[in-house]
Amino acid sequence: MKKICLIIGLSLLLGIFVSSAFAQKVTLRYGHANAVTYPYHIAGEAFAKAVEEKSKGTLEVKLFPLGQLGGERDITEGLQLGTIDLQGTSLGVTGTFVKVLNIYNLPFIFKGPDHFMKVTHGSLGQWVLKEVISEGEKVNLKPLSIAGPAFRVPMNNIRPINKLDDFKGLKIRTMEVPLHKDAYRALGASAVPLPFGELYTALKTGVVDGNENGPATLEAMKFYEVQKYVTYLPILSNGGAFLMSLKTFNKLSQEHQKVIMDSVPAWTKAMDDECLRQDKEALTKMEAKGTIINTIKDLKPYIDATASVRAEATKAWPKEWVDAVDKILKLD
């Protein structure tokens, strides 16, 4: 009888120990370099809420905005080392770590938000994501999602852009990104890389005639005070990637790994919704302040003009990546 009681007692103690170990809270750090109003942050909040609910409080995600954990590259490198766990970041920066993602960074790869959504959340996009995951894991990253039907569009103070020739002679500030510079040069403009902090003054003094960025950024930075014309033209994607440290993921229990994967759709939906909402709201606000906004309907001349840029960028790519580009361009 004593032996039976002892066995039962030990079993109960073991059960309590295992239960308490499983219930121990795990905290993950999600970093990004932008403000708390930015889609990366709002998507991160949606993901954190889903994780808390699905894990019943045993897994927690804490958000660190405004570059608290470093710049975009710094955070991604932290993911590789396992010192940071999660990140919302630009496709441009991610493409320097995971080359196949540069499919999304080609000029005029998408025809607009609807086309972006159709590709990204359809079979083509899922194929690209699988390739991104495969390539990402080789560099200690675990890509989770691609989302955000947003675009970098041109704004200038010289003239409205209604046709391809209207780009000629315009000095447009671009990021120091070869694909960005090459795209604007192919359209006929002069690409002028400048630090973002100097841009407002450069626009005001005429050092450059215009710049390119997402509508939400154009409005938030009050560039409408020194520029008059915005052309909604989907030259370059302004979407984002959701990344996780592969080292962190592999350390999690199977239960918590499942929670992470089951919560990814919350990030994706919030990112898509917020990009659409913010860009639409920004364009409305700028128009109310006197900005003249036009949308280019016929994209063919612009797609054709940048064909050489896409060809040069993809000439050393694997055939299946190039085939994916062709399929995306042909998809209506």
Per-residue pLDDT reduced to its tens digit, 303-321: 999 999 999 999 999 999 9
Q: What percent of the chain has pLDDT over 90?
A: 91
Amino acid 5: pLDDT: 47
Per-residue pLDDT reduced to its tens digit, 259-268: 999 999 999 9
Amino acid 14: pLDDT: 44
Residue 214, domain CATH? 3.40.190.170
Amino acid 177: pLDDT: 87
Q: Do the bridges between strand 141-147 and strand 210-213 make them parallel or antiparallel, or are there none, so unpaired? A: unpaired
- My answer on whether 133 and 222 are in the same domain is no
Amino acid 214: pLDDT: 96
Using the predicted structure, report yes or no on whether residue 39 has a pLDDT greater than 60: yes
Return the structure tokens found at 319: 């055939």
Using the predicted structure, report yes or no on whether residue 20 has a pLDDT greater than 90: no
Average pLDDT, rounded, for the chain? 93
User: 37: which residues sit within 8 A by CB, 6+ positions away?
Assistant: none
How many domains are contained in the chain? Answer: 2
- My answer on whether 214 and 294 are in the same domain is yes
User: 39: which residues sit within 8 A by CB, 6+ positions away?
Assistant: 88, 148, 150, 240, 270, 271, 274, 275, 278
Question: Domain range spanning residue 91?
Answer: 25-101+111-147+239-273
Q: What percent of the chain has pLDDT over 70?
A: 93
Amino acid 13: pLDDT: 45
User: Predicted confidence band at 176 (pLDDT cuts at 50, 70, 90)?
Assistant: confident
- My answer on whether 159 and 268 are in the same domain is no
Using the predicted structure, report yes or no on whether residue 329 has a pLDDT greater than 70: yes
Amino acid 23: pLDDT: 58
Does a structural domain hold residue 64? yes
Amino acid 278: pLDDT: 97
With contact defined as beta carbons under 8 Å apart, do 30 and 61 qualify?
yes
